[in-house]
Amino acid sequence: MTVVVGYLPHRGGPGALDLGLRLARARGEPMLVVTVVPRQWSTPSPAKVDAEFGEYARRVGEEATAAARAHLAGTTVPVGHRAVPGRSVASTLVDVVQDAGGTVLVVGSAAGGPDGRIGLGTTAQKLLHAAPVGVALAPRGGGSPDSPDPGDAPFGRLTVAFSDSDSSVRTVAAAADLAARLGTPLRVASFGVRNATMYPPEVGLHAEDSILESWADQAAEAQHRLVADGTVDDGVPCVIGTGTGWDEAVAAVDWRPDELLVVGSSDSGPLARVFLGSRASRLIRAAPVPVLVLPHLSSRS
């Protein structure tokens, strides 16, 4: 059982290492840092070209491993390193997770966009549709460095995103179990966004505001049912964020700098795979903290 980190030094790598380290310490598991290096095609080519390509791939792996070791110097978490050849970064990482008995896969954000927000690049998007375990996404600009005291709590709070559906209730239950195992406080959050094109201009914004207020009331009732049915303990805080866009809705609730947001997968995804609908993708992009996306949980999970 190990936390697997997909790492490249210049593609969100430091942030992925920091988040992976926090998760590994919290779970009491070792960490495996994996760099996918270019793999040669099977088509024959001149020996000199093959040798040069092989040397290039070896150098990429060695440089990435050296950079990762330097970044993680001094940590008390057991860390392994692998450079694995592959033509697809996403599929190679999935293979490594399965081979190593990975419990979670950590990746960094794509380049571009503001620091502190998550960028879903091509590799992350593919992993969110194929990974057999939860996928943790680190914001741009990195995360908190490893604490010199291994007893420090790596996360100050887990917030789980909740929408009133059966799969979302199972996600809350899984997040509550994770928070209990990590010894971390739990919070339930629901987010509602007003659709600017919900009604024609002559109707005005009052109808949209009324719909959003009604939704917020229903969301609060659904959150209360989580306590009533024993999904979460009495006293777990529940919050609702609304706004004219996802950034505004997410910013409507407070966030700790040491927080982790837990998001569930869409019901339409394959069982035991991570799959994101458009709402979850927008929530992830608006999140100001690292995000853990859980695989789809069936009613029998």
Q: The domain that contains 182 carries what CATH number?
A: 3.40.50.620
Last residue of a domain, one of 104, 137, 170: 137
Please indicate, yes or no, whether residues 127 and 237 belong to a single structural domain of this protein: no
> Is position 184 within any domain?
yes
Q: What pLDDT score does 24 carry?
A: 94
Binning pLDDT at 50, 70 and 90, where does residue 199 land? very low
Please give the tally of structural domains in the chain: 2
Binning pLDDT at 50, 70 and 90, where does residue 220 land? very high
Structural domain containing residue 168:
157-293
Residues 259 and 289 sit within 8 Å (Cβ to Cβ): yes
Q: What pLDDT score does 213 carry?
A: 84
More confident residue, 277 or 186: 186
Please indicate, yes or no, whether residues 133 and 71 belong to a single structural domain of this protein: yes
Q: What pLDDT score does 147 carry?
A: 37
Q: What pLDDT score does 206 carry?
A: 53
Please indicate, yes or no, whether residues 7 and 84 belong to a single structural domain of this protein: yes
Please indicate, yes or no, whether residues 198 and 86 belong to a single structural domain of this protein: no
The residue-averaged pLDDT of 152-180 equals: 89
Please indicate, yes or no, whether residues 178 and 95 belong to a single structural domain of this protein: no
Last residue of a domain, one of 80, 104, 137: 137
Please indicate, yes or no, whether residues 56 and 14 belong to a single structural domain of this protein: yes
- Answer whether residue 43 shows pLDDT above 70: no
- Answer whether residue 109 shows pLDDT above 80: yes
**Residue whose C-alpha is closest to residue 34's, from 83, 102, 78, 89:** 83
Q: What is the pTM of this model?
A: 0.86
The residue-averaged pLDDT of 70-88 equals: 93
Please indicate, yes or no, whether residues 124 and 173 belong to a single structural domain of this protein: no
